[in-house]
């Protein structure tokens, strides 16, 4: 029996579904998840020694590729000095200063250990600051797995066909309003009918948990204007897009200043780091200055921050994002060309270093259009690519990620793999 199959069997006895995060279980695409053993640059190896060009990149954090020497060295140095103190350290100041400098809407920031913690805390803060209860989110956007946000969510819930979770009491989500992504008219109506109760609007400025859906021109601007008019806070969930679509995140790309921003993934460089920050007057409502409580033993962990700081430093190299964006665009172009050569309805698009692939003719602009994509064909494509040595996200509802380590050789390999994979789909092999 192959190593991944053996480990998956063992894992299922002691871990629900054999995984520690649902999408990894390959339920949407079928088959056995790969158990990975190591990674270097753009390549990962499974426990059976097979190698793959990796477009998951730990779901986004590994913007400089696997085990970048600068990042590994920084982690080793930090670890040698102590793993955790539960007391302030210099690295926390350095990270906070860097985030405030690179994302100007962040005047103050608090570090946490995951994206879920960041969004959960930002929501609490927004409610505490505005003294209002309701929050608005958009269908198919995923903001981590805190109760109030786990309604019509993307990512794993959507992948498993359960976008709202059991175990979340109706009372907990009675204050959550869910609207259509890329349609500001719903928000206009919600504000008109109950604006005085809406504390915040939270949005993925580029949706990356229902595949990739880019914001329509004017959508984010409309959210900004409506939140300002009705005194609600605009929260950009940039856990995925922060330092991924460009140095200043999606807010720099689209020229919008949110009141609060949540971060994760890249700022930890593969280690558990999250953050939420924004307007100083809002942030100062947090304990110990104000009445909104939030805390964490491992918040600002020095080893995790060492990985994050080293990664962010790499992203500040001249042309880093130009090159990353160009490489990601090339991946999309080569995949699309390969599909069309086989006569398959397919398209792909990228925003900076993240991309989406769709089995339809044009990129979806809404959750409904995402649902029109052919998920069964995606699964066949996923497995054909895996057999060719290319590791895509095992779900039609996740974005893909390119790193600075994906060079011409990896992209060429991907294109050749895609040509064979699409041809096999056409032949029904
Ligand atoms: N929710 C993550 C992707 N959007 C998946 C996390 C994981 O399985 O590691």
For residue range 101-156, what is the model confidence (pLDDT) as tens digits?
Answer: 999 999 999 999 999 999 999 999 999 999 999 999 999 999 999 988 988 887 77
Residues 46 and 137 in one domain: no
Range in 18-22, 305-309, 371-375, 414-418 the model is least confident about: 371-375
Q: Measured from the CB, is residue 156 less than 6 Å from ligand 1?
A: yes
Q: What is each CA distance from 102 to 48, 60, 98, 243, 244, in whole angstroms?
A: 41, 19, 6, 9, 13
Predicted structure pTM score: 0.97
DSSP-assigned letter for residue 41:
B
Determine the structural domain holding residue 360 and report its residue range.
Answer: 3-67+318-427
Residues 244 and 274 in one domain: yes
Residues 288 and 357 in one domain: no
Residues 82 and 170 in one domain: yes
Residues 80 and 220 in one domain: yes
Q: Measured from the CB, is residue 59 less than 6 Å from ligand 1?
A: yes
Residues 311 and 329 in one domain: no
Judge if the upstream peptide bond of residue 288 is cis by omega within 30 degrees of 0.
yes
DSSP assignment of 310-331: HHHHHHTSTTHHHHHHHHHHHH
Please identify, by atom number, the ligand 1 atom nearest to the C-alpha of residue 19: 8
55 catalytic per annotation = no
DSSP-assigned letter for residue 215:
P
Question: Can you give the pLDDT at residue 345?
Answer: 93
Residues 354 and 207 in one domain: no
Q: What is each CA distance from 286 to 96, 109, 128, 131, in whole angstroms?
A: 16, 11, 9, 14
pLDDT, tens digit, 9 for 90 and up, residues 301-333: 999 999 999 999 999 999 999 999 999 999 999
How big is the CA angle at 352 (ends 104 and 393), to the nearest 5 degrees? 120
Q: How far is the CA of 21 from the centre of ligand 1 (A)?
A: 6
Residue 285 CB neighbour total at 10 angstroms: 16
Question: Can you give the pLDDT at residue 34?
Answer: 97
Residues 74 and 63 in one domain: no
How big is the CA angle at 151 (ends 148 and 156), to the nearest 5 degrees? 110
**Domains identified in the chain, total number:** 2
Cα–Cα dist 177/194, whole Å? 11
Residues 215 and 232 in one domain: yes
Q: Is the confidence at residue 341, as pLDDT, over 70? A: yes
Q: What is the mean pLDDT of residues 164-190?
A: 91
Positions of E strands within 2-47:
36-40, 43-46
Question: Can you give the pLDDT at residue 167?
Answer: 86
CA R_g for the chain: 21
Q: Which CATH number belongs to the domain containing residue 26 in this structure?
A: 3.90.1150.10
Q: How far is the CA of 152 from the centre of ligand 1 (A)?
A: 16
Residues 77 and 175 in one domain: yes
142 catalytic per annotation = yes
230 catalytic per annotation = no
pLDDT, tens digit, 9 for 90 and up, residues 237-270: 999 999 999 999 999 999 999 999 999 999 999 9
Positions of E strands within 204-267:
233-237, 260-263
DSSP-assigned letter for residue 195:
G
Q: How far is the CA of 23 from the centre of ligand 1 (A)?
A: 6
Three-state DSSP class for 387? helix
Q: What is the mean pLDDT of residues 87-97?
A: 98
Could you tell which of 18, 23, 157, 206 is best to mutate to test the pocket of ligand 1, judged by most ligand atoms within 8 Å of the CB? Answer: 23
Residues 57 and 148 in one domain: no
């Amino acid at each position: 029996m192959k190593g991944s199959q053996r480990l998956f069997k063992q894992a299922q006895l002691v871990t629900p579904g054999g995984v520690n995060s649902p999408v990894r279980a390959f339920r949407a695409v079928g088959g056995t998840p790969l158990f990975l053993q190591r990674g270097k640059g753009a390549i990962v190896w499974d426990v059976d020694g097979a190698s793959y060009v990796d477009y998951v990149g730990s779901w986004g954090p590994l913007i400089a590729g696997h085990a970048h020497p600068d990042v590994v060295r920084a982690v080793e140095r930090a670890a040698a000095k102590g793993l955790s103190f539960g007391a302030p350290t210099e690295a926390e100041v350095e990270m906070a200063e860097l985030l405030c400098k690179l994302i100007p809407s962040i005047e103050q920031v608090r570090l946490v250990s995951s994206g879920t913690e960041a969004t959960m805390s930002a929501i609490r803060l927004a409610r505490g600051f505005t003294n209002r209860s309701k929050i608005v989110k958009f269908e198919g956007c995923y903001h981590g797995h805190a109760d109030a946000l786990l309604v019509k969510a993307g990512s794993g819930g959507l992948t498993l066909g359960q976008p709202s979770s059991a175990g979340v009491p109706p009372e907990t989500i009675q204050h959550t309003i869910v609207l259509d992504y890329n349609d500001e008219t719903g928000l206009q109506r919600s504000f008109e009918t109950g604006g005085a109760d809406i504390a915040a609007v939270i949005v993925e400025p580029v949706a990356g948990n229902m595949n990739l859906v880019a914001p329509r021109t004017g959508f984010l601007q409309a959210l900004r204007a409506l939140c300002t008019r009705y005194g609600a806070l605009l929260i950009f969930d940039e856990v995925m897009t922060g330092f991924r679509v460009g140095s200043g995140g999606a807010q720099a790309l689209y020229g919008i200043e949110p009141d609060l921003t949540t971060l994760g993934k890249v700022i930890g460089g593969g280690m558990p780091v999250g953050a939420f920050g924004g307007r100083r007057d809002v942030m100062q409502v947090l304990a110990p200055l104000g009445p909104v409580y939030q805390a964490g033993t491992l918040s600002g962990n020095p080893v995790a921050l060492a990985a994050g700081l080293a990664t962010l430093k790499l992203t500040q190299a001249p042309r880093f994002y130009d090159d990353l964006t160009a490489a990601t665009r090339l991946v999309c172009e080569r995949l699309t060309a390969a599909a069309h050569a086989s006569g398959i309805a397919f398209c792909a698009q990228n925003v900076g270093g993240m991309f989406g692939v769709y089995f339809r003719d044009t990129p979806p602009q809404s959750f409904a259009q995402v649902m029109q994509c052919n998920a069964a064909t995606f699964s066949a494509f996923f497995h054909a690519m895996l057999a060719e040595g290319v590791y895509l996200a095992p779900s039609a509802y996740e974005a893909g990620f390119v790193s600075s380590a994906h060079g011409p050789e990896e992209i060429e390999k991907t294109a050749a793999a895609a040509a064979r994979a699409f041809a096999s789909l056409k032949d029904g092999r």
